Chains A and B, each alone.
Chain A
Amino acid sequence: MSQTKTKDHAALAEAFIKDEERVDWHDGALWYIREKRDIAAKQIPEWEELREAASKIKSNVISNLHEYLLQFEANLKKNGVTVHWADSAEEHNQIVYSILKAKEINQMVKSKSMLTEECHLNEYLEERGIEVINSDLGEYIQQIDNEPPSHIVLPCIHKRKEEIGELFHEHLGTEKGLSDPTLLTRVARKHLRNIFLTRRGALTGVNFAVAETGEYIVCTNEGNADMGAHLSEVQIASMGLEKLIPQKKHLGIFLRLLARSATGQPITIYSSHYKKPRIGQEMHLILVDAGRTRQLGRPDFRDSLKCIKCGSCMNTCPVYRKSGGLSYHNTISGPIGAILAPNLDMKNHADLPYASTLCGSCSNVCPVKINIHEQLYKWRQEIVKEGYAANTKALGMKTMAWTLSSPGKFTTVAKAGKWFMHNVPFVLNNKFNPWYKQRDMPDGPKESFSEWFTKNKEQKK
């Protein structure tokens, strides 16, 4: 399911960039995290081997998904967990609703789940009279501001502390002008504590699910997933099919990579294992496809399913840092979002693979070595073939392909600068060309190299 797009990435990014001082701050905050990640990664001599191992384990998982899913399901059942399979976001939401309705629960606390954001679960439940509170601080802030998360690990990284202070003043009654992060966090903590104590239903996401044991692991820094789950009568976990790892011994590799890649921490504060319901508690796990098996069927793009959602590709991406996560108009933003989104809705997300310079930094930081920038390139080819590129652009490209393949045409018009100006789209010299808004083109030199070369060769003869 995708959000309805009103503007494309370029337009949304342009709006974000208007406030340049804010962009510099946003860029700096994320670059700081990239630097922390570098320091953490470089403290581990076997870092690159860990990435390689993780990548291979995930290759194994997505190549044998069917067997691992069945093994996982059998072990979940053995442990007393009720298993559900959801083909679509809609079906996932229906399952959650039916579980809660059966227990007459009308308030639920949620944490650590980008999947339910992708499924728009909150809206679905609220329309049916069930109130949902996101208990991760960043997601809670986004929820009270009625905005989706802009980053999968740092949901409100685009907001400044003063803006958060404003929101808290409005929604939680804090003193006007209060923007001290510690004080604000204390207020949120007190408020959320009451939520945890009164909610009978709790839903979490899943970071890793172990096929061999039927347990799943949720990584948080705030302990909120635990608080919600431990105090609930009904505990629900929603996970994408791709979150599996084969054995428990593989977990160490991923836990070492995840937090270092995400924030530069050696490990998340909590890595909580959930396996069996408490006496009197119900545990449900929903396995969600929602386009994942379709992606699995695309040979060029299936590796995107290796993603462990660390967000490091966002922190390193200069386009992300300068344009903000919301400009990607998709739940998962940044480079990884740009290769996942076209699978869900190619027409609506045709702009996202173009929101990149193909610099390749994303692939280098990726802890599971997804070739993100190569997939961006390949999505562009798909989007053009499927007819989703703007018609005018396609026409321009066809003209250029014809000219460039014909040397006669090229040389007859190859006066320095002139041919290029008329044929290559990014230098078309007219007032509609965005190049000239904030940049100049080089002055055409007296002669091109080919002219110089021909003249020189003749003189030498």
Chain B
Amino acid sequence: MNVGLFIPCYVNQFYPNAAIATLELLQKFGANVVYPVNQTCCGQPMANSGFEHLSQDCNDLFINNFSDFDYIVGPSASCILHVKEHLHSNKHEEQAANIRSKVFELVEFLTDVLKIEKLDAVFPHKVGLHHSCHGLRGLHLSQMSELNAPPFSKPQYLLNMVKGLEQVTLDRADECCGFGGVFCVSEEAVSVKMGKDRVTDHLKHGAEYITSSDLSCLMHLEGILHRNKSAVKVIHIAEILNATT
């Protein structure tokens, strides 16, 4: 199985450990992982700001980099959802459609494609799970609290396999953290207030770590935790699933 590793630009720049953990996890489960070094960004920051029409070159580059794999996997629900919903091309629409159908966020790739049933991970800490909205309502990684439908959670399913990990229960299980791409600066006051309230929920229930399948949410929450000199840390779910000591 040939897997193209898609590491979103900000993960590459700020969170290399999450990218390394993703690579190692995929290799552990037998995938032949290739990292196309010419990759940049999925174009989401532009598109979500209303500049989707400027993201064409970005899309073509993505298609160039990732057309030849059986699957494309990345550790960021938000970027993956963007590719799934908005990757189009005037020149190579057929390849774009093909990519849209085989791009996966890491958690769903582990549960739905690799169908893993056990992990040898150890992480003896109290962890709060933050559902990113794009992962939750876009990729349906878990059941959404608004719907009258049976509950399930793919990230929770994986976290339950980790030895020593204790998940904390939150007051608001799937409320948005307020990052929102361009929103985090264009609506700074609301963004920060939303982030503070999410952090408070995790702290109130004794989380030592906040984890998620989206580092953009975590970067925002980390920024708030750090500014307030909190000892609570953020960690990408790949790092927990790959933790052995």
Contacts and interface: CB of A to CB of B under 8 A. Distances in A.
B26 to A, nearest CB: 13
B9 A438 contact: no
A444 B189 contact: no
Pick from A384, A406, A414, A450 the residue with the most CB of B within 10 Å: A450
Which size class do A's interface residues fall under?
35 or more
B48 to A, nearest CB: 7
A256 interface: no
Contacts, number: 229
Given A400-B46, A405-B40, A424-B45, A318 B175 contact: yes
Contact of B52 (A42, A381, A414): A381
Interface string A432-447: 0111011111101101
A407 B40 contact: yes
B13 interface: yes
A426 B223 CA distance: 13
Q: Is the interface of B mostly helix, strand, loop or mixed?
A: helix
Contacts of B116: none
B146 interface: yes
A398 B183 contact: no
A105 interface: no
A411 B37 contact: yes
Contacts of B224: 438-439
Given A365-B146, A404-B9, A404-B58, A322 B184 contact: no
A449 B75 CA distance: 13
B55 interface: yes
Interface residues of B, number: 73
B78 to A, nearest CB: 10
A388 to B, nearest CB: 9
A10 B187 contact: yes
Nearest to B35: A453
B193 A17 contact: yes
Contacts of B43: 401, 404
Given A10-B187, A425-B185, 14 more contacts: A31-B172, A319-B187, A357-B178, A361-B144, A381-B53, A384-B49, A401-B46, A411-B38, A416-B13, A426-B185, A433-B185, A439-B192, A440-B222, A441-B223
20 contacts: A13-B190, A316-B146, A319-B178, A358-B183, A365-B146, A381-B50, A381-B51, A381-B53, A398-B54, A403-B40, A404-B43, A407-B40, A411-B38, A414-B12, A417-B13, A426-B45, A438-B192, A441-B219, A450-B12, A451-B16
Interface of A: 9-10, 13-14, 17, 20, 23, 27, 31, 38, 41-42, 44-45, 47-48, 316, 318-319, 322-323, 354-361, 363-365, 377, 380-385, 389, 393-394, 397-398, 400-407, 410-411, 414, 416-417, 419-420, 424-427, 433-435, 437-442, 444-445, 447-454
Interface of B: 7, 9-17, 19-20, 23, 35, 37-41, 43, 45-55, 57-58, 60-61, 133, 137-138, 144-149, 172, 175-176, 178-195, 197, 219-220, 222-224, 226-227
